[in-house]
Amino acid sequence: MLYSEKVMDHFRNPRNLGTIEDADGVGEVGNAKCGDIMKMYLKIEDGIITDVKFNTFGCGSAIATSSMATEMIKGKPVEEALKLSNKAVVEALDGLPAHKIHCSVLAEEAVKAALFDYYTKHPELKKPEGLPDCATCGGDCCSCH
């Protein structure tokens, strides 16, 4: 099989699928031209991600990595979510085929983009150094991966 059982499980039964109307942070990354777009919605209370939802246009691994990323940051402090790496997502999914690794990069970027949006909405909080603005970079995601 192309994908591990875990990838197929998250693809078939995506966790935290949906949107949050009054989200504290929303991030959208990817490019329709490349075939994948992820949109992440965060609800944050007292520095804790209390809820997270996602919508994804993309292949099986794009949907599975989004789902896994939401599960890995839900209930966690913002500081911890900021440290989520694509590698951790891949490991949690028991691996991805080489040409699908970019999906996990996208999942990491979607979380970062949503957090960037959160910090932008809350200028009183100090934006962590090095947090990339994936959502508005305007670049072609394909060129990054």
H helices present in 1-145, as ranges: 5-12, 60-73, 78-82, 86-92, 101-121, 141-144
For residues 60 and 95, which CB has a smaller minimum distance to other proteins in the complex? 60
- Residues in the interface with other proteins (CB under 8 A) total 27
Nearest CA to 116 out of 45, 7, 25 is that of 25
Site for other proteins in 67-96 (CB under 8 A): none
Taking CB under 8 A as the binding criterion, the range among 6-14, 73-81, 82-90, 116-124 that sits at the site for other proteins is: 6-14
Binding mask of the shown chain, residues 11 to 50, with x at each position contacting other proteins by CB under 8 A: xx-x--x-x--------x---xxxxxxxx-----------
CB-CB contact of 93 with 85 (8 Å) = no
Taking CB under 8 A as the binding criterion, the range among 60-68, 71-79, 80-88, 122-130 that sits at the site for other proteins is: 60-68
137 catalytic per annotation: no
Tokens at 122, concatenated: 């809350």
Residue type, 62: A
Q: Is 145 exposed, middle or buried (0-12, 13-18, 19+ CB in 10 A)?
A: middle
Residues near other proteins (CB under 8 A): 8, 11-12, 14, 17, 19, 28, 32-39, 55-63, 99-100, 142
